[in-house]
Structure 1
Amino acid sequence: MTVRIAVASLAAATWTAALFLAGPAAADNTNADPKDNHAMTEIEVTVDGQVLHATLDDSVAAKDFAAMLPLELTLTDFHGIEKVADLPRKLDTSSAPASYRPDTGDITLYAPWGNLAIFYKPFQESRGLVRLGEFDGAIDALIQDGETPIRIEQAD
């Protein structure tokens, strides 16, 4: 019995030390920064003949999104902070953090609704929001009134 307690105590101490050394994000991935993922896929978003360049993250959800390309979507404005469009199917978000705080130029998925959301203004941390990537420059061409048809494809 004494040996079992000592082994259990050693295991608990080792686990606690590992979490301490790894930092608070190791215990709960809701604080993990998706921007820490290494860039994976370069994409192009065409709006009214203008090509905007973006980079998708090296994440399960972003890879699943890239597998859908090319896509022709129609963006609509949502609450004056983002452009949204329905995707043809749900993305795999199995390894995604529970929430994300979007910044201007972020390409995201709102998992509960299964739609693409491109932020043109920063927003608060939101449960169910999954970062897919970000634009490499200005996104002024996307900020239009009404519906905005776009084409998303992998860059050559």
Structure 2
Amino acid sequence: MTIPTSRDFVALLPLTVKMDDYSNTEKIFYPSRKLSTQHAPAGFDPSVGDITWYAPWGNVALFYKDFGYSRGLISLGKITSGIEAFTVNGSITVTFELVAE
């Protein structure tokens, strides 16, 4: 089952954004609009490569280090290769696009 949060994110794609480093654990950006939290779980335990929506702050986060469970964090998807590009210091420019398998 796809939750509305993921559908809202996919509707923004393709999307090129500047992602800022947060806490040496994740890269974040604020999309042009809030994503739905309808039918979303209370929280999520992200691992390396997870793309998430942090509803309390309204930002998308991509985790390049493991992190613990957080209330308000919703999984949007996962990158399967290239995570090393996110481990650099500072901000990076990223293009999100849907790739059919």
TM-score (normalizing by structure 2): 0.91
- What SS class does the counterpart of residue 72 from structure 1 fall into? strand
Structure 2 counterpart SS, 1:124: coil
Q: Post-superposition, which runs of at least 4 consecutive aligned residues in structure 1 deviate over 6 A?
A: none
Q: Name the Cα RMSD after superposition.
A: 1.3
Whichever residue aligns with residue 65 of structure 2, its letter is K
Question: Does the residue aligned with 1:95 lie in a helix, a strand or coil?
Answer: coil
Residue 59 of structure 1: CA displacement?
Answer: 2.3
Q: How many residues align?
A: 100
Are 1:78 and 2:26 counterparts?
no
SS of 1:63 mapped into structure 2: helix
CA distance in 2, matches of 1:83, 1:146: 9
- The alignment status of 1:136 with 2:70, answered yes or no, reads no
CA distance in 1, matches of 2:48, 2:74: 14
The structure that has the greater radius of gyration is: 1
Q: 1:138 to 1:150 in 2, by over 3 A?
A: closer
Q: For residues 115-156 of structure 1, give each alpha carbon's deviation from its aligned partner in whole angstroms, at most 9, with x where no partner exists.
A: 110001111110110000101224111221121011112236
Pick aligned residue for 2:63 from 119, 134, 144: 119
2:33 pairs with one of 82, 89, 96: 89
Q: Which whole-Å deviations, capped at 9, do the CAs of 1:48-87 have from their partners, x for residues lacking one?
A: xxxxxxxxxx322111100011111111111111110111
- What TM-score, normalized by structure 1, do the two folds share? 0.61
- Superposition pairs of residues 105-116 of structure 1, within 5 angstroms: 105-116=49-60
Task: Percent identity, please.
Answer: 42
